[in-house]
Amino acid sequence: MARRRSPRTITGMPRRPRQALLLLAASSLLAGPSGAQDARSAEFRQIAPDLYFNFDFGGSNSAVLITEEGVLVVDTRMHPDDAEDLLAEIRKYTDAPIRYVVVSQHHGDHYMGNSVFEREGAIFIAHPDTKKVIEERFQFEVETRPFADRGQDPDAVALVLPDILFDSRATIELGGRTVELIYLGAGQNEGDTLIYFPHARALHTGGVFHNRSWANTSYAPSFEGWVNVLRAIKSIGAEVYMPPHGDLATEADLDVFTDFIEKISTGVRAAVDAGTPLDDMLEELVFDEYRDWRGYERRERNLRAIYQRMTDGEAQYFVPAGRPQPVSGN
């Protein structure tokens, strides 16, 4: 059963019990082969004295800031069981309360563990577009995630929506640390939120940048826009990149992924402009240089989505019977 909590768009300083948060709204900054599920366990890695990266090759990654005043979590993983594992790792380091959860994107593998952190009293923060698509697609996400293969109960997943929404830039102050929430525009998804930890020069990249991983292109409203956001990320000044999928990365890895998005989208554009039938295009555009990336087995699905975007003008969600559904508000 969905549990809905009223969100608040940021207009000043929100007040809540126990809250040590300052959210300031500001103007927008801009008008091994991986075909099978990897069996490795998630790794909770320290990348700064108070900042951690939960790396799950076969699932989704999270970031955790631990301070004496409380804990901030970026993304709660795919299922409450996964979220309990993440919480257990956090409790190895601190008993401080979980203050905030930032939901970086609308894909279910990044937020469907929210109920565990709701139980802990967290305040949830997201971009309005992220909230909107979560509401639209929650049931589909529950029905299509591989819970049975993972021995997980889909009925344990509850919808927990954001308490606070931000439009373009917000700042969280917690335990003497500043965390910046930045929206530069749609990358992989509308609402892709970048989370920057200035003291560690570390950036969680939401859905924008995946390290050596075939990002799902079914949701991207514009591939040129996606590339522009990837290039704009460099101006933030990060030295360490924490992607939602794939391992910790550097700016060089960011460049490789930017080239990847340009190459696959340009290849499809050339095929569309030449009138190449879809099936012929899928045979021709193999992209062997990315064969060892995580998710290469989704190559055809991703290229189909780009093809549809460039021919029908709508981003494609993969829904039952292959029925396309346009991005809300597109």
User: Which amino acid is present at 44?
Assistant: F
DSSP SS3 for 56: coil
Higher pLDDT, 310 or 3: 310
C-alpha–C-alpha distance, residues 242 and 223, integer Å? 21
Domain boundaries, the chain: 8-26+34-263
Average pLDDT of the chain, as a whole number: 86
Spacing of C-alpha 17 from chain mean position: 28
C-alpha–C-alpha distance, residues 205 and 230, integer Å? 9
Handedness of CA 305, 311, 316, 320 (dihedral sign): negative
pLDDT recorded at residue 248 = 98
Residue range 67-92: average pLDDT? Answer: 98
The pLDDT tens digits of the residues spanning 117-171 come to 999 999 999 999 999 999 999 999 999 999 999 999 999 999 999 999 999 999 9
C-alpha–C-alpha distance, residues 265 and 222, integer Å? 10
User: Which amino acid is present at 131?
Assistant: K
C-alpha–C-alpha distance, residues 31 and 183, integer Å? 11
Q: 317: pLDDT confidence band, cut at 50, 70 and 90?
A: low
C-alpha–C-alpha distance, residues 11 and 9, integer Å? 6
- Percent of the chain whose pLDDT exceeds 90: 79
C-alpha–C-alpha distance, residues 248 and 202, integer Å? 10
CATH architecture of 8-26+34-263: 4-Layer Sandwich (3.60)
Helix or strand holding residue 55 (H, E)? strand 51-55
Residue 91 is encoded by which pair of tokens? 């409790």
pLDDT recorded at residue 34 = 37
User: Which amino acid is present at 153?
Assistant: D
C-alpha–C-alpha distance, residues 100 and 74, integer Å? 8
